């Protein structure tokens, strides 16, 4: 019963994240005029002006408007909030490393009791390859005081992911197909760290307000054009979001994708897939708005590239047969220790394709 309630709560949270990160997309789809918005010493940002705004006399000219907006703390995270999110984000990363090592250093299923240390190291590496770079990008964006269109949705996504990880720690058997792999102290400590991180992220998200901005209007017939990079980021975001939901509701072995962490950590790791989906969608919005040159956008792009590349590399090594044999190296290791990955080949190929799309989009 608790697992059903937990799934319903996380689904509601996921809907909130989607609503937040698609807010900009909704504005772009309306028949309004775009604007470039700048705050002092910050990167220009393309936003939308209502149709009621005074039209330009000449489309070839550019007018400058200075909007004295209501100031209530500004759209950036105050230094104390940013430092708290950064510190708790680092603690969350260390907690994930400890949880992963504890859960993946041995296999509780008697069928896989004879797995070698090489297999355990590969599996632990899989738990770090995508989650840690994506987690770093999320902490960097969420704790930054730099004006960025990524900040607000990523703070909400980071809070939801932290809540999911807290539930996965405190109610570990319900997230790991019945396996109880952690001591009571570790469960409580990990849960408290993730709950504190979620609280700090939610606080910084709710404190977002309007700043003094400098607006630069563009001709009324200007329309943002979707580039190849924005389309790739859009497809990547949809794919990652699908594979965020899949482990929550799908049965084994489909629930192990895209992280390939088996019954022990695949469901908890969906928190990082959610962060990847949110980052990809924010990067899509940045491409559409022409604000893809900021420092935080660069960090998000590079971290997604590193995470997806490492994930693909580890999967390739497993398929080749470095873990006791595979398609190229002699042995039956691939079929003996990775039965879930081979039982649903379409899901395997689909998850790999999504990470390939992320890599292509990040290099555009």
- pLDDT for position 294: 80
Would the pTM count as exceeding 0.85?
no
Place of tokens 């698609």: 22
Residue 147: pLDDT band with limits 50, 70, 90: low
DSSP structural state of residue 145: -
Please count the structural domains in the chain.
1
Mean pLDDT, all residues of the chain: 79
Q: 341 with 260: CB under 8 angstroms?
A: yes
Q: Which residue has the higher pLDDT, 177 or 70?
A: 177
Residue pair 147/75 in contact by the 8 Å Cβ criterion: yes
DSSP string, 206-270: HT-----EEEEE--TT------HHHHHHHHHHHHHHHHHHHHHHSPTTGGGTTTT-HHHHHHHHH
Cα distance between residue 132 and residue 98, in whole Å? 13
Question: How confident is residue 237, by pLDDT bands cut at 50, 70 and 90?
Answer: very high
The pLDDT score that the predictor gives to residue 30 is 42
Q: What does the pLDDT read at residue 318?
A: 94
C-alpha–C-alpha distance, residues 68 and 80, integer Å: 26
Q: How confident is the model at residue 35 (pLDDT cuts 50, 70, 90)?
A: very low
More confident residue, 218 or 348: 348
Q: What range does the domain containing 321 cover?
A: 2-362
Q: How wide is the angle at C-alpha 8 spanned by C-alphas 284 and 204, nearest 5°?
A: 50
> What are the pLDDT digits (tens) for 157-214?
999 999 999 999 999 999 998 899 999 999 999 999 999 999 999 998 887 644 334 3
Is 347 in contact with 254 (CB distance < 8 Å)? Answer: yes
């Amino acid at each position: 019963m608790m697992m059903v309630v937990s799934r319903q709560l996380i689904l509601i949270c996921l809907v909130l994240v989607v609503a937040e990160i698609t807010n900009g997309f909704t504005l772009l789809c309306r028949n309004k005029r775009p604007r470039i918005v700048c705050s002092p010493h910050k990167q220009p940002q393309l936003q939308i002006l209502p149709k009621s705004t005074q039209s330009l006399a000449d489309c070839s000219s550019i007018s400058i408007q200075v909007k004295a907006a209501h100031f209530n703390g500004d759209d950036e995270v105050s230094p104390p909030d940013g430092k708290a999110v950064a510190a708790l984000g680092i603690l969350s990363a260390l907690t994930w490393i400890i949880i992963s090592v504890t859960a993946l250093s041995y296999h509780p299923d008697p069928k896989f009791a004879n797995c070698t240390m090489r297999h355990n190291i590969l599996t632990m590496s899989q738990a770090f390859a995508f989650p840690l770079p994506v987690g770093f990008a999320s902490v960097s964006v969420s704790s930054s005081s730099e004006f960025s269109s990524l900040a607000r949705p990523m703070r909400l996504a980071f809070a939801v992911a932290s809540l999911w990880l807290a539930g996965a720690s405190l109610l570990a058997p319900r997230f790991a197909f019945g396996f109880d792999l952690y001591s009571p102290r570790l469960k409580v400590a990990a849960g408290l760290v993730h709950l504190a991180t979620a609280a700090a992220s939610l606080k910084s998200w709710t404190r977002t307000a309007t700043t003094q901005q400098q607006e630069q209007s563009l001709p009324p017939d200007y329309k943002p054009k979707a580039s190849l990079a924005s389309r790739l980021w859009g497809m990547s975001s949809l794919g990652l979001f699908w594979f965020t939901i899949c482990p929550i509701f799908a049965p084994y072995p489909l629930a192990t994708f895209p992280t390939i962490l088996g019954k022990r950590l695949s469901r908890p790791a969906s928190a990082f897939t959610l962060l990847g989906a949110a980052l990809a969608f924010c990067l899509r919005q940045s491409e559409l708005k022409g604000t893809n040159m900021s420092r935080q956008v660069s960090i998000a792009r590079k971290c997604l590239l590193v995470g997806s590349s490492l994930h693909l590399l580890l999967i390739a090594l497993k398929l080749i047969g470095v873990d006791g044999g595979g398609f190229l190296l002699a042995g039956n290791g691939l079929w003996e220790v990775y039965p879930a990955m081979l039982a649903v080949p379409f899901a395997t190929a689909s998850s790999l394709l999504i990470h390939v799309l992320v890599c292509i989009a990040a290099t555009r």
